[in-house]
């Protein structure tokens, strides 16, 4: 039986303030004079609200005024949905039920998952060694291009079938693209881990720490965000040798800033709530407060933020490789493929447009997923 059923004679507790208010006035005018008497006794001006509160707490002052017949539990109507009738669904399940209807987001998620599966099975799927050069097969178009057969025949490669063609060193572009996608997706995972490990922790600590520590941590953030992150990354890459590890180290310096800010802001809000204040007063350790009270409440925002920061990380890697400080030669990433392809885009357009298309699909899937998740997880943003 829910709270609503205990209400007096069908008056739902929520309505008491309003409805009973009217009742009291009515009673007064009816000449019962109950209030007036009490008013005289207490020698205060009429305070209807206070009387109502009293009445609710103690029950009516004069039980005889309300017939006993009214004090029966309300019969539950058939169509009456109260909280107990609805099966309890966990937050995640509810989110999934709503996300299910967002066809675009689901499609994007499927594309993403397939991309991850395909890219990470690159060693199995790739038809050739991505770095193996074979100069006599340089710059061959994909074998299914209309004029491809002729070109393959000219250099005596009739029995070769390069699905996406070859680059200037005769390397198989499909293999390079598979390995390159794997690098880009690896970077996306690392960015996510960094965002959580550094960003969320920083935000939580800053939000729950003392004023002075918080101030200090905020100043540090301000200084780091004073430099455009690309510049920081480039400087770091100049100092360390280019390569995947350096890109990751460089990202560790800047990529968690926005996350830290968002988490801190939310933490401050939640910290001011009464139940958290109570926990603090009761001497709950800060770490426990962070994990038990704050984190569950900001999980949604963290997930949304995460989905938006991942594409940025992928972008960055391609940018770095594009300006020549990213991945180490001869390893392929989508960025290096784009850079190589860009140099010959006039002559062999496929060398740039194919990796470009793959990059766009990755970015698009992440963004669509992020949008879908935001609509589902953040009720305020729901369109």
**Which chain residues interact with another protein by CB under 8 A?**
219, 222-223, 226-231, 234-236, 238-239, 241, 311, 315, 318-319, 322-325, 338, 342, 345-346, 352, 356, 359-360, 363-364, 366-368, 371, 380-381, 383
Q: How far is the CB of 312 from another protein (least distance, A)?
A: 9
Q: Minimum Å distance from CB 356 to another protein?
A: 5
Min dist CB 235 to another protein, Å, is: 5
Kindly state the DSSP code that residue 139 receives in the 8-state scheme. Answer: T
Q: Which is nearer to another protein, 16 or 301 (CB)?
A: 301
CB distance 242 to 249 below 8 Å: no
CA atoms of 114 and 225, how far apart (whole Å): 35
Cβ contacts of 357 within 8 Å, gap of 6 or more: none
Q: Which is nearer to another protein, 24 or 318 (CB)?
A: 318
**DSSP assignment of 121-157, as one string?**
THHHH-SS-TT---GGGTTPPPTTSTTHHHHHHHTT-
- Nearer Cβ to another protein, position 26 or 324? 324
- Gap between the Cα atoms of 59 and 49, Å rounded: 15
To another protein, the closest distance from the beta carbon of 213 in angstroms equals 17
Q: Show the tokens assigned to 298.
A: 């900001």
| DSSP SS3 for 166 | strand
- In the complex, the smallest distance separating the C-beta of residue 364 from another protein, rounded to whole angstroms, is 4
Question: Is residue 333 within 8 Å of 180, Cβ to Cβ?
Answer: yes
Taking the complex as a whole, the smallest distance from the CB of residue 323 to another protein amounts, in Å, to: 5
The residue among 207 and 355 lying less far from another protein, judged by its C-beta, is 355
Q: Cα separation of 373 and 308, whole Å?
A: 10
Q: Is the Cβ of residue 259 or residue 338 nearer to another protein in the bound state?
A: 338
Indicate the residue among 25 and 343 with the shorter CB distance to another protein.
Answer: 343
What value, to the nearest 5°, has the Cα angle with vertex 371 and ends 86 and 252? 115
DSSP state of 205: H
């Amino acid at each position: 039986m829910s709270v609503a059923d205990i209400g007096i004679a069908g008056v739902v507790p929520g309505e008491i303030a309003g409805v009973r208010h009217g009742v009291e006035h009515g009673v007064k005018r009816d000449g019962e004079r109950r209030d007036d008497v009490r008013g005289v006794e207490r020698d205060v001006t009429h305070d209807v609200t206070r009387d109502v509160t009293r009445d609710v707490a103690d029950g009516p002052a004069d039980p005889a005024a309300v017939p006993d017949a009214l004090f029966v539990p309300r019969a539950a109507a058939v169509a009456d949905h109260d909280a107990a009738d609805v099966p309890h669904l966990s937050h995640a399940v509810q989110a999934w039920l709503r996300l299910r209807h967002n066809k675009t987001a689901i499609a994007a998620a499927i594309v993403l998952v397939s991309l991850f599966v395909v890219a990470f099975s690159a060693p199995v799927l790739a038809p050739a060694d991505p770095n193996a050069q074979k100069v006599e097969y340089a710059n061959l178009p994909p074998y299914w291009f209309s004029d491809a057969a002729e070109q393959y025949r000219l250099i005596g490669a009739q029995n070769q079938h390069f699905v996406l063609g070859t680059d200037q060193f005769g390397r198989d572009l499909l293999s390079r693209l598979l390995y390159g996608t794997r690098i880009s997706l690896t970077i996306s995972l690392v960015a996510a881990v960094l965002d959580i490990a550094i960003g969320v922790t920083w935000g939580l600590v800053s939000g729950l720490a003392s004023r002075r520590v918080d101030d200090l941590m905020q100043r540090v953030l301000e200084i780091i965000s004073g430099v455009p992150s690309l510049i920081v990354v480039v400087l770091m890459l100049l100092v360390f040798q280019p390569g995947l590890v350096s890109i990751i180290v460089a990202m560790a310096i800047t990529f968690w800033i926005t996350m830290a800010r968002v988490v801190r802001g939310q933490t401050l809000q939640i910290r001011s709530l009464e139940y958290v204040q109570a926990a603090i007063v009761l001497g709950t350790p800060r770490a426990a407060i962070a994990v038990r009270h704050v984190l569950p409440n900001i999980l949604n925002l963290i997930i949304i933020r995460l989905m938006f920061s991942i594409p940025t990380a992928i972008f960055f890697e391609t940018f770095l490789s594009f300006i020549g400080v990213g991945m180490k030669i001869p390893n392929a990433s989508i960025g290096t493929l784009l850079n190589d392809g860009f140099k010959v885009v006039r002559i062999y357009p496929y060398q740039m447009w194919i990796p470009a298309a793959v990059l766009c699909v990755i970015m698009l899937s992440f963004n669509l997923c992020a949008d879908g998740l935001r609509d589902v997880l953040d009720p305020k943003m729901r369109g």
